[in-house]
Amino acid sequence: IDSKREEFRKYLERAGVMDALTKVLVSLYEEAEKPDDALDYVRKHLDGSGPDSEDIEAIKAELDVSKTKIEELEQENATLKDKLLQYEGPRGENAQREDAQAADSVAPNTEEEEGGLAVSPGPSE
């Protein structure tokens, strides 16, 4: 058991964990006003790049507002789709596609084929 502990201690020293912990604990010791939450202090100072708990709370609040807005917009979108379907009448989207296909088949062909190539008429003078 002692050899495993010694091996683990050496591992922590090689990885820089012992130095980081020592620095954080020394800085906590030297604090004139000790924080209420020592564990939170250690977490913040071990990983200085992490966000503060205040930042996290602000981000969570913003996320909640965004989720609410998304729900409102989805409801509005559904309502507008329903209104659009009522406006289109019983024909709906299939009728619109049929109308577009009918217009394409009736449209005159403005290109003439010449030698297997399509030639568009030039500008009129």
Q: Of 37-41, 74-78, 96-100, 102-106, where does the model show the most confidence?
A: 74-78
Q: Are 67 and 39 part of one and the same domain? A: no
Domain-located, residue 96: no
pLDDT of 113 reads: 47
Contact 119, 111 (CB under 8 A): yes
Q: Are 72 and 30 part of one and the same domain? A: no
Domain-located, residue 122: no
Q: What is the pTM of this model?
A: 0.38
- Digit-coded pLDDT (tens) for 9-65: 999 999 999 999 999 999 999 999 999 999 988 888 887 666 677 788 899 999 999
Domain total for the chain?
A: 2
Rounded CA separation 17/23 (Å): 10
Rounded average pLDDT over 89-108: 62
pLDDT of 6 reads: 93
∠22-27-30 over CA atoms, to 5°? 125
Q: Are 73 and 34 part of one and the same domain? A: no
Domain that holds residue 60: 51-90
Higher-pLDDT residue of 83 and 112 is 83
Tell me the sheet residues that pair with 114.
117
Q: Are 76 and 41 part of one and the same domain? A: no
Q: H or E element: which one contains 14?
A: helix 2-15
